[in-house]
Structure 1
Amino acid sequence: MATIPAQARSKQLRACLLCSIIQVPADFRKNGCPNCEEILQLKGNPERIANCTTTFFEGVISVIDPDSSWVARWQRTSKYARGMYAVRVKGRIPEDIEADLENRGIRYRQRDQTDQD
Structure 2
Amino acid sequence: MSGEDVGDLKRVDKETEKGIDELLESGSDEETDQEKGVRAGEGENLEKGGEEGGNPGQGGEGDAAAAPGEEEGRPTRDANKPKGLPRFIAANPPNALERKLQVCCIRCRLIKTKAQFYEVGCENCPSLIPKGSQEEVEEYTSKKFDGIISVVDPDDSWARKWVRLNKQIVPGVYAMRCREFLRQ
Structure-1-length-normalised TM-score:
0.71
| Distance (whole Å) between structure 2 residues aligned to residue 63 and residue 10 of structure 1 | 19
1:15-52 alpha-carbon deviations (Å, 9 max, x no partner): 000000100111100110010012x0332111211110
Three-state SS of the structure 1 residue aligned to 2:136 is helix
Higher helix share: 2
Q: How many residue pairs align between the two structures? A: 91
Which one of the candidate residues 82, 90, 99 is aligned to 2:171? 82
Higher strand share: 1
Output the amino acid matched with 2:118.
Answer: R
Q: Which has the higher contact order (CA 8 A, sep 6+)?
A: 1
| Distance (whole Å) between structure 1 residues aligned to residue 146 and residue 130 of structure 2 | 22
Matched residue, 1:107: none
Output the amino acid matched with 1:56.
Answer: K
Q: Point out 4+ residue stretches in structure 1 off by more than 6 angstroms.
A: none
Q: Which stretches in structure 1 are left out of the alignment for 5+ residues?
A: 96-117
8 Å CA contact 2:103–2:111 kept in 1: the answer is yes
Matched residue, 2:180: 91
1:32-79 alpha-carbon deviations (Å, 9 max, x no partner): 0010012x0332111211110100100000001111001112222332
8 Å CA contact 1:22–1:86 kept in 2: the answer is yes
Matched residue, 1:52: 140
- Aligned-residue RMSD, C-alpha: 1.6
Q: Which stretches in structure 2 are left out of the alignment for 5+ residues?
A: 1-91
Structure-2-length-normalised TM-score:
0.46
8 Å CA contact 2:95–2:112 kept in 1: the answer is no
Three-state SS of the structure 2 residue aligned to 1:14 is strand
| Distance (whole Å) between structure 1 residues aligned to residue 95 and residue 149 of structure 2 | 20
Overall identity of the aligned pairs, in % = 33
Larger Rg: 2
